[in-house]
Amino acid sequence: MQRLKEAAEKAKIELSSSTSTEINLPYIMPVGGVPKHLVKTLTRAKFEALAHNLIQACLEPCKKAMSDAGLSNSDIDEVILVGGSSRIPAVQKLVEDFFGKVPSKGVNPDEVVAVGAAVQGAVLNKEAGVGDIVLLDVTPLTLGIETLGGVMTKLIEANTTIPCKKSETFSTAADNQTEVTIHVLQGERPMAAQNKSIGQFNLTGIAPARRGVPQIEVTFDIDANGILKVSAKDKATGKEQAIRIEASSGLSKEEIERMKAEAEANAEADKKEKERIDKLNQADSMIFTTENQLKELGDKLPADKKAPIEAALQKLKDAHKAQDLAAIDSAMAELNTAFQAASAEMYAQTGAQGGAQQGAGFQGGANAGQGNAQNNGKQDDNVQDADFEEVK
């Protein structure tokens, strides 16, 4: 078998410079005590027909890379061939037809990767003689953190050029929560459990406050060497914790492609699951906001208007507990209707000047729970309502 592999490799190489080659393997195997020899002429045309599907597959990585970079064929200045198999005439013809230009042959295909690595090393070390060369690397997969409901909230998208830095502000999921876990994830799936965990740390010392009040800034910072630093800072106390992840990928090319393929194959199911979790989080936020609003209003709210609100609120709690999405939608609509009716009456009773302020705030309290990315009553519109789980 090893002799056959070596002969096939030799024939492939020879067909790059000639139109036919002879495969000659004496004494390949005995049959009935008589040695058999393999003598076969292989033409370039026959070889290209046998390898047609493999050769055509060469274009897919090119198309994917250009699509991710937002480039068209006209944006490409020069095409450099990489790897010994790029010497095959059919491969060169395919590349020329696709890009509309003759590929460059100025660099040895067997050495081009090593040359590129050496140049990048010189650039990263800021060595003299590299001039204005800029080599851009990208993040292979999306990076984010786990938030309420087991959702992965994305901070740095896949194919983002590095170095890069991105910050988002989050809040707490429970009253008087003083500690949160920052769970760092990598992958393309919407749920945390379906992605790769690459790090985790706790931020402690958060000032006790009502749910949604603390502002915790999470920052992802990837340097030119691909090293990821994740930090979390409580804006009120200044408390900060961070983690350094040396290999922000830690995955082979095959594993990265597998994760991307899984994300594409499960896109529809993942979308439905993400929508389900978002709806539950939305209902939870609305319940929290409504209860606080009722406490703040107290006796200012007429009993005949308070009763429908409390009834709709109980329906929403029951639907949320049962995770009945249709019932959640119905209860949320009913709760909003009850709030609007109460708001209109309070506005009429208190007059345009005072009632406009009171009524607007009242109605806003009901609606504040309707979006998973809304500000949940916080002053800063950039604070995401994708709360952390409480650390037990």
Answer for the pair 259, 141: CB distance below 8 angstroms, yes or no: yes
Range 57-64 average pLDDT: 88
Tokens of 210: 């009502």
Question: What is the DSSP pairing of strand 196-204 with strand 216-222?
Answer: unpaired
Residues 6+ apart with CB under 8 A from 41: 20, 21, 22, 23
DSSP 337-392: HHHHHHHHHHHHHH-HHHHHHHHHHHHHHHHGGG-TTS-TT-S-TTB-S-PPPBP-
The predicted-structure confidence for 187-213, as pLDDT tens digits, reads as follows 999 999 999 999 999 999 898 988 889
pTM of the model: 0.62
The SS3 of residue 62 is helix
Buried b (16+ CB within 10 A) or exposed e, 12-42: bebbbeeeebeeeeeeeeeeeeeeeeeeeeb
Residues 6+ apart with CB under 8 A from 389: 146, 147, 148, 173, 180, 181
Q: How confident is the model at residue 122 (pLDDT cuts 50, 70, 90)?
A: confident
pLDDT of amino acid 362: 43
What letter represents residue 145's amino acid?
I
CATH superfamily of 2-50: ATPase, substrate binding domain, subdomain 4 (3.90.640.10)
pLDDT at 48 over 60: yes
The predicted-structure confidence for 238-261, as pLDDT tens digits, reads as follows 999 999 987 655 677 788 888 888
Domain locations in the chain? 2-50, 68-124, 143-265, 273-370
The SS3 of residue 188 is coil
CATH of domain 273-370: 1.20.1270.10
Answer for the pair 203, 232: CB distance below 8 angstroms, yes or no: yes
Q: What does the mean pLDDT of the chain come to?
A: 83
CA gyration radius, the chain: 31
In 3D, which of 347, 319, 348 has the Cα closest to residue 333? 319
DSSP assignment letter at 74? G
pLDDT of amino acid 149: 86
pLDDT at 380 over 60: no
In 3D, which of 77, 82, 196 has the Cα closest to residue 143? 196
Task: State the fold for domain 143-265.
Answer: Substrate Binding Domain Of DNAk; Chain A, domain 1 (2.60.34)
Phi first, then psi: give them for residue 80, nearest 5 degrees. Answer: -105, 130
pLDDT at 79 over 60: yes
CATH of 68-124, one of 3.30.420.40, 3.10.20.30, 3.30.565.10, 2.40.30.10: 3.30.420.40
Range 112-129 average pLDDT: 82
pLDDT of amino acid 330: 92
* Bigger pLDDT: 324 vs 120: 324
The predicted-structure confidence for 279-319, as pLDDT tens digits, reads as follows 998 899 889 888 888 888 888 787 888 888 889 999 999 99
